[in-house]
A and B are shown apart, each in its own frame.
Chain A
Amino acid sequence: MSNSVAIVGVGYTPTRKLTPEVSYKEMIYEACVRAYHDANLASHRDIDGFISCAEDFLEGTSIFDEYTPDQLGGIQKPMHTISGDTLLGLATAVMNIRTGLQQLVVVEAHSKASNIKTLDAILHYATDPILTRPLHLNPHFIAGLEMQRFLDISKNTLEQCAEVVVKNKRNALKNDLSTYGTRLTTREVLSSEPTSTPLTQLQHAEPTDGAIVFVLASSKIAKKMNRTPVWIKGCGWISDAPSLETRDWNRCAYAALSAQMAYRQAGIRNPKKQIDFFEIDDTFSYKELEHLEALGIYETGKSGKALLQGALDPDGKTPTNVSGGSLGMGHVLEATGGFRTLEIVKQLRAEAGPRQLDKVKTGLAFSWRGLPTTSGVTMIYSQKGA
């Protein structure tokens, strides 16, 4: 297992709706120094490579990787950007380390969503300029289309989707990093402002600010650096055909196939039994159920009932988004999968405080790139490694 890679350090800022007191560089610096301290790094000069997860259009700066070395201590070192979620950056770091050329790699992701004044317009630019943009629809309509079809095919219900919101915002109350923890009823969720039906406002995760930095190490040095390394046992990433005209609205292939790729690497045959808890994308309420089913944790149409029976609660059989997920913590753009991973790291290190789960050894993180994409990444983390 000399090829194993572990997370040996993590640093972060709380997720907040507004962060006017810091620039994005200062926010990343704050997360960075905590991560290096957590990893017991003697010096940032020991790091072999840096990966920043950022999308130029969200930053408002072209060639954004030119703006990331300073705050990470990465000047005059190999650095590149991954235009995708943190999990894709972590998967890239795993590959970098497995080449044998790098032993210690840093992955950074952040959101300054509060600085983007026209976020919906930026999403609009992700749609086809000839076939879709001229229709001038707010891009959230795509989530409405997807949810409509998902409910029709799976027979999960609107109430069950609303219950996802109730659960995750309730879980967030036990997470001191979260911003949107609250007690709600399904009725309140369903009677909030309609957006793109069947979605209502409370079923959307809110764009939020935050930064997160991970330090990854090869098995050769991981145990020396940290007494409780969190091992990356599998990572899979898939992009499906994204066109709105021809995509398969009946199934969530990107989640299913990325999970299969990760399961193969991790030697997982029965994910429901072999994985103790799940931190998965819930950008919209229905996404949690859709993703759980695609990941093979529940059969089609069974996740909603399981939710109502409490199986997705922290004390249930398949705890899901104990952190509060994006509905409870906020959607931190490309940092979203990073904050899902953070919860797994905390749980596996037994550092989750009031929401600590009993006897958890293996966790799954799943991220979706967001509207209008059909791409996702699955990561399997474990206490046991090399």
Chain B
Amino acid sequence: MRMNLEGTSLKREDIDSKRVLTTRFRSNAFYAWDTGRGIGRYLQGLKAGEIWGTHCDTCNRTVVPPRIFCERCMKNQVSWVKLQDTGIINTFSICYVNWDASRVEEPHLPAVIEIDGASQGHGILHVLDEVNPKDLKIGMKVKAVWKRPEERNADITDILYWKPY
């Protein structure tokens, strides 16, 4: 025998006509995170159209985004290294689902891009464009497309997207 577990779903009119008790508030959770020395300098670099990483002198490893200590050896003997604004795709996805679960016509193309000049496997998360999604491949060479200098705001969107070259 099939059990009836469907319940009674709420409808918009139930809420509008106050047949059900509702309470309403707007989220008021605001933060202003200190970026500190590592990410602070990284973001300032983006404003100047540059990508900076840090090199751990102990582990001989260059990471991006930069950090002022190495999470492997836990030392803070790091030096700053200016990297290229080119790289290769480490991994990507073609996303047809928006954050609110709606479908998108033009798919979003997030990717991890290994930055030229950083140690192998080290890269940043960003988005791709000016590319047919069908052509995307791991290992594809891409380069940054920057906002115009006067539009840059020292944030990650100072790079508009990455495209194959």
Contacts and interface: CB of A to CB of B under 8 A. Distances in A.
Interface of A: 19-27, 29, 32-33, 36, 44, 57, 60, 69-71, 73, 75, 112, 114-118, 121-122, 124-125, 129-130, 133-134
Nearest to B24: A134
Nearest to A33: B74
A60 B33 contact: yes
B32 A118 contact: no
B99 interface: no
Interface in B22-36: 23, 25, 28-36
Interface stretch (B63-71, B90-98, B123-131, B137-145): B63-71
B38 interface: yes
B72 interface: yes
B19 interface: no
Q: Is the interface of A mostly helix, strand, loop or mixed?
A: helix
A26 B76 CA distance: 10
Given A44-B74, A118-B28, A25 B36 contact: yes
Pairs of residues from A and B, 8 with the lowest C-beta to C-beta distance, nearest first? A23-B36, A60-B31, A121-B28, A70-B71, A117-B30, A26-B36, A73-B74, A22-B36
26 contacts: A23-B33, A23-B35, A24-B34, A25-B36, A25-B67, A26-B36, A26-B69, A27-B36, A29-B76, A33-B76, A36-B74, A44-B74, A71-B69, A71-B71, A112-B33, A112-B34, A114-B34, A115-B31, A117-B31, A118-B28, A121-B28, A125-B29, A130-B21, A133-B23, A134-B23, A134-B25
Given A115-B31, A125-B29, A75 B72 contact: yes
A218 to B, nearest CB: 23
B37 A22 contact: yes
B80 to A, nearest CB: 15
Nearest to A129: B23
Contacts of A23: 33-40
B40 to A, nearest CB: 8
Given A29-B69, A129-B23, A133-B23, A115 B37 contact: no
Given A21-B37, A23-B35, A24-B34, 7 more contacts: A22-B36, A25-B36, A29-B76, A70-B71, A75-B72, A115-B33, A134-B25
Interface string B9-29: 000000000000101010011
B161 to A, nearest CB: 25
Contacts of A130: 21, 23
A29 B76 CA distance: 10
Interface size class for chain B? 20 to 34
Contacts of A69: 71
Q: Is the interface of B mostly helix, strand, loop or mixed?
A: loop
B34 A115 contact: yes
Contacts, number: 77
Contacts of A115: 31-34
A114 B31 CA distance: 9
A116 B31 contact: yes
A19 B34 contact: yes
Nearest to A134: B23
A60 B29 CA distance: 8
A50 to B, nearest CB: 13
Contacts of B74: 32-33, 36, 44, 73
B67 A70 contact: yes
Contacts of B31: 60, 115-117
Contacts of A133: 23, 25
B162 to A, nearest CB: 25
Contacts of A26: 36-38, 68-69
B71 A73 contact: yes
Contact of A122 (B21, B29, B32): B29
A112 B31 CA distance: 10
A22 B32 CA distance: 13
A28 to B, nearest CB: 10
Nearest to B69: A29
Contacts of A60: 29, 31, 33
Nearest to A120: B28
Contacts of B32: 115, 117
B14 to A, nearest CB: 17
Contacts of A121: 28-29
Nearest to B40: A23
A129 B39 CA distance: 37
A112 B36 CA distance: 12
A25 B32 CA distance: 15
Interface in B133-152: none
B147 to A, nearest CB: 24
Contacts of A32: 74
A21 B74 CA distance: 20
A31 to B, nearest CB: 12
B29 A118 contact: yes
A129 B27 CA distance: 12
